[in-house]
Each structure stands twice: as C-alpha cells, then as structure tokens.
C-alpha cells in the first residue's frame, strides 16, 4: 500500500510539473535564473528545453518517503536508542520470528532478522537456542507493517 502511495505521489508530482501552463512568453533569462554554482551551459539548456523528467523522480523520491513514512533498513530500524520495549514469556519461536506471551495483553509476534541481537543469560546466542518459557525483554522497531526485533534478552526459565 505504501509503495502504491509513493508511486501515486511521484506520478502526481510529475504530472503537475508537466501540465504547468506557460505564462505569456517571457525572456528566458527572466524565467530561469542561474543559481550559484550552476554552469552557464546548463542554465541555457534548462531555459531552452525546460525540465528533464528524469531529474524530477529522484527529487520527489525523498518527499514521497517522508509522506508515506517508509524507511529503509539502514535508516534506523536497528538503532536501539529509538526502539520500543516489551517483556514477556517465550511461547513459540521459528526461523522468522518469536511469539511472546504477556500477562493481560495479547501475544506479541516479532520478526527476527540477521541483525537482531539475541542474548540468553548474558551470552550472545542464535534465536534457536532460546528455550520455551524463557523470560524475554525485547526491543523492537516498526518497519512498515512488520514488528522487527532489534534485541532480545532472555533469562532461562527456573527449573522446579
């Protein structure tokens, strides 16, 4: 859905630039002004030819990401300082994620990625090493519709 919204924003922005009605014929030097650092030839080309549509997309891309809230993985998903926290008991685990039971709340399903830091009793382990029933403190981020575990810190269940 977010990709559709981003594509729509790009299309509408491009269409708006393409349909801009030319005002009365003006001298090109009044309509297109040279900015500091622009080459004279580039300014003359823009004045004669207009705006190249291939230059519009990259400029709209950032605006579309800002509007839709889409984030690339490298733009903050695995930053623990900005992560949300929760606590629960490990109910189920798979290669793709874990399910944590929480008292009085619905179970939380977190996606586990390669960059997810997983700890058991103070030692770094793989998610497969977490025992069922372990107490888990999780830090997570929202990435689109996914809830991505940034860090899982588990304590082995007490034997009775």
- Among residues 60, 48, 70, which one has the least CA distance to residue 15? 60
**pLDDT digit string (tens) for the chain, length 160 residues:** 777 787 767 766 676 666 655 555 555 555 556 566 566 766 666 667 665 555 555 555 555 556 655 554 445 566 666 788 999 999 998 878 999 999 999 999 999 998 999 999 999 999 999 999 999 999 999 888 889 999 999 999 885 4
Interatomic CA distance for residues 108 and 35, integer angstroms: 53
For each of the domains in the chain, give its residue range(s) and CATH number, in order of start: 2-70 (no CATH), 80-155 (2.40.50.320)
Which H or E run includes 113? Answer: strand 105-120
Contact in structure between 136 and 121 (CB atoms under 8 Å): no
């Amino acid at each position: 859905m977010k990709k559709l919204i981003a594509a729509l924003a790009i299309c509408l922005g491009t269409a708006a630039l393409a349909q801009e009605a030319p005002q009365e014929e003006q001298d090109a030097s009044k309509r297109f002004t040279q900015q500091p650092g622009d080459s004279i030839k580039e300014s003359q080309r823009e004045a004669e030819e207009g705006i190249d549509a291939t230059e519009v997309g990259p400029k709209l891309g950032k605006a579309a990401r800002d509007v839709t809230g889409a984030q690339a993985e490298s733009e903050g998903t695995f930053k623990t300082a900005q992560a949300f926290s929760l606590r629960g008991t490990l109910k189920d685990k798979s290669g793709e994620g874990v399910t944590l039971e929480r008292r009085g709340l619905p179970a939380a399903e977190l996606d586990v990625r390669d960059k997810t830091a997983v700890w058991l009793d103070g030692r770094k382990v793989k998610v497969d090493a977490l025992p069922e029933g372990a107490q888990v403190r999780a830090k997570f981020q929202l990435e689109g519709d996914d809830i991505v575990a940034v860090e899982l810190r588990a304590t082995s269940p007490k034997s009775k």
